[in-house]
Amino acid sequence: MSGRPTPFARRAAVLGALALGLALAAAAVRSAPAPADAPGEEMLTAASGRCGVCHPRDRVAFEKSPHATEGLHCTSCHGGNDQTDKASTAHSGASWRGRLTKPEIPKLCGSCHSNPKLMQPYDLPVDQYALYQTSVHGQRLAKGDTRVAVCSDCHGPHEILAPNDPASSVYVTNIPRTCGRCHGDSALVKAEGIRDTYHAYLTSVHAKQLFDAGNLSAPTCVSCHGVHGATPPEGGDVNKVCGRCHTAERRYFLAGPHASGMSRGGLAECSSCHGDHAIQASVTGNLAADCVECHDKNSAEAKLGDRLLADYRGASEEIEQASKWVDRADAVPIETDDFRARVQEARTYLREAMTAAHSVRPDIMGSFTVRARSTGAEVTEEIQKELGNIRTNKLALIVFWFYVLVTVGILRRFRNARPQGR
């Protein structure tokens, strides 16, 4: 017997190798991992595992949240085992936390949201937990008071949406209502002895801008109080907070005597006159009326308020007068583009005078009221002069009729002259 393999054995070896190769290739295909950056449908349902069998409502809410698509599971927060629908097995194990208590929640959320490595791919800030601990909510929680807002009270426990999602409870137009769930709850505010700031805010010019005018830049609760570090601005800081938007008003306010006087007297700067939450659009008539809230009725300060108001009104009336003259000139018509521009300019001065009134200094405010008033008066005067030229046209009629009658006389002589015979 030679050592050479028989043809049958060779064929068998080739077939065997082929079969092995096929089997290996099939195994390789089977074990290939799904692409990680495109979660399939099975992965979405996998987020809640089998918890949804008993907790369908929580499952639906959770799966709307971006958390569900970013690799979080029910067990990430609640612990336990999500691969069984047997309650005793599911709600057990070393990781089982069950329903979280209020003090646990900020810590749990912070365990991811304070981790720069985890948040960096989403470009999310990591200071929320630190800020929360500086807030009145956080400080009271630290003292053991659990009747405060934690993460889930504002963001929702399961249906946590991004703040730029209009369905989110922390979307800009939803923020007042979210805060108002506690700060506008009449029973709760009475029990806690705090003010119903939500309903006060709803009457404010800020809320009208936000809800009626659709101005998404209008301030909500968090614009002044901070987001996670929600704290009422302290006296001395109020002008800084308001001045973030009302820059010119703040500049004039700081230039006037009220800034130092209010800080000495411990008065909140802007809100002493404007109120805090129910801030109304400025009413000219209230300008001087509010002075007597603090100053004596016969004091020099109250009289100064009356004088500033009188200056403002005088300028305002002068501008209205000029505006009426412009309309009259338009009906003639006289070229009014320049006059209109100047009336607009005067209105701008008047608007600036209202802002400058925050300095309560007649020299500062007066520089605007005087300019507004004199611009209005100049326009009125110039239009009256031009309309006076039209009156001159009427006088020119006398000369015109003189020449007409002279011509008629000549024509009558021609008419009655004897025809010249040849």
Partner 1 sequence: MSASPKPGSKPAVPLSERLWRALAWLEQRMNVTELFSFLTHFGVIYTPIDTQRPLREVLREIGSKPVVSYARWPHILGLLTAILFALQAISGTLLAFYYHPTATMAYESTRTIVRDVPLGWLVHQVHAWGSSLLMAVVFVRIVRLFWDGLYRAPREVLWFSGVMLGYLVIQIDFTGRLLPWDIHSYWAAIRGLEVISTVPVVGPVLAFVVGGKTLSQDSLPRFYVLHSLVLPGLYLAMVWVTFASMRRVGLSRTDEAPPATTTFRKHLADLAIIMLLLFAGLVTLATLFPFHFHGAADPYATPKGVQPPWYMLALYAVDQVPVPGWIPGLLALIVCLAIPFLPAILKRTGGRFDERRVRIAGVAVFAVWVVLSVIGVIVERS
Residue 394 binds to partner 1 (criterion: CB under 8 A): yes
Residue 385 binds to partner 1 (criterion: CB under 8 A): no
| Residue 390 C-beta: closest distance to partner 1, Å | 9
Which among 315, 307, 293 has a CA at the least distance from the CA of 362? 307
Site for partner 1 in 33-62 (CB under 8 A): none
Cβ proximity to partner 1, 173 vs 407, nearer residue? 407
Among 96, 122, 211, 400, binds partner 1 (CB under 8 A): 400
Cβ proximity to partner 1, 7 vs 421, nearer residue? 421
How many Cβ atoms from other residues are within 10 Å of residue 37's Cβ? Answer: 4
Which among 356, 349, 354 has a CA at the least distance from the CA of 376? 349
Residue 20 binds to partner 1 (criterion: CB under 8 A): no
Residue 407 binds to partner 1 (criterion: CB under 8 A): yes
Question: Could you give the angle at the alpha carbon of 223 between the alpha carbons of 221 and 224, nearest 5°?
Answer: 80
Which among 208, 206, 147 has a CA at the least distance from the CA of 182? 147
Task: For residue 219, give the DSSP letter.
Answer: -
Binding range to partner 1, per CB under 8 A, among 24-32, 65-73, 344-352, 405-413: 405-413
| Residue 329 C-beta: closest distance to partner 1, Å | 10
In the chain, the N- to C-terminal Cα span, in Å, equals 169
Cβ proximity to partner 1, 296 vs 338, nearer residue? 338
- The helix/strand/coil state of 193 is coil
Residue 412 binds to partner 1 (criterion: CB under 8 A): yes
Pairwise CA distance, residues 153 & 163, whole Å: 14
Exposed/middle/buried for residue 246 (C-beta within 10 Å: 0-12, 13-18, 19+): middle
Spatial CB neighbours of 361, under 8 Å, sequence gap ≥ 6: 255, 256, 257
Cβ proximity to partner 1, 143 vs 415, nearer residue? 415
Residue 414 binds to partner 1 (criterion: CB under 8 A): yes
Pairwise CA distance, residues 290 & 297, whole Å: 11
| Residue 414 C-beta: closest distance to partner 1, Å | 5
Residue 387 binds to partner 1 (criterion: CB under 8 A): no
How many Cβ atoms from other residues are within 10 Å of residue 164's Cβ? Answer: 9
- Write the binding mask 315 to 334 for partner 1: x where contact by CB under 8 A, - elsewhere: ---------------xxxxx
| Residue 205 C-beta: closest distance to partner 1, Å | 29
Q: Which residues bind partner 1 (CB under 8 A)?
A: 330-335, 393-394, 397, 400-401, 404, 407-408, 411-412, 414-416, 419, 422
